[in-house]
Amino acid sequence: MNHKPLKPGEEVTQAALSADASLGFIGHVETPWKTLADCPKRADPDGPVSLVVVDPPWDRALLGVGDFAWIELYLWFHEARRDLLVIAPGHAEGLRGVFSVRSPVRPNPIAVTTVRLLGIEGNTLRVAGLEALDGTPLLDIKPGRCPVL
């Protein structure tokens, strides 16, 4: 995987992350964002329509999801590097531990994003406000608690 070169002061660990549990992808998202550079920094709940495709047998677990106006998508940021400890974020001065920023770069690159649910047809959800890369694997869907505006 091609990673951006480290900036001064950034720190990585050489210790291999252990494999303590496994994730199964239950589907994927289809978005207008074809490269990481295309992805918006923040989701726009009035942004373009994206699709969330849920593979069988998990599409059966969508029963009742249509009752919600907002849902949380749990995504796996498969292109993120996992060895960074301290980064120099673009939006702030100085150095920050990865646990003090919401960067996608982290040991377990799980992203949770709240999107507006527009409709469901079969195993496919139409949503607005998704800022993830096209093809990002899907881990989970939960009813949204509150829109993040």
Q: Which of 8, 20, 46, 91 binds a second copy (CB under 8 A)?
A: 20
Do 52 and 138 form a contact (C-beta atoms < 8 A)? yes
CB of 40 to a second copy, least distance (A): 16
Residue whose token pair is 């899907």: 138
Which is nearer to a second copy, 25 or 40 (by Cβ)? 25
Which strands form 11-12's sheet, in the order they lie side by side? 11-12, 84-87, 96-97
CB of 62 to a second copy, least distance (A): 5
Going from the C-alpha of 132 to that of each of 57, 95, 96, 126, 138, the distances in angstroms are 24, 25, 23, 14, 11
Name the one range near a second copy by CB under 8 A: 34-42, 43-51, 133-141.
133-141
Residue whose token pair is 């998508």: 73
Name the one range near a second copy by CB under 8 A: 36-44, 127-135, 137-145.
137-145
Alpha carbon distance, N-terminus to C-terminus of the chain: 33
**Residue 8 interacting with a second copy (CB under 8 A):** no
Query: In the stretch 61-100, what mask flags binding to a second copy with x, by CB under 8 A?
Result: xxxxx-xx-----x-x-x---x-xxx--------xxxxxx
**Residue 40 interacting with a second copy (CB under 8 A):** no
Burial bucket for residue 1 (CB in 10 Å: 0-12, 13-18, 19+): exposed
> Which residues contribute to the site for a second copy (CB under 8 A)?
11, 13, 15, 17-26, 54, 57-58, 60-65, 67-68, 74, 76, 78, 82, 84-86, 95-102, 106-108, 110, 112, 137, 139-143, 145-146, 148
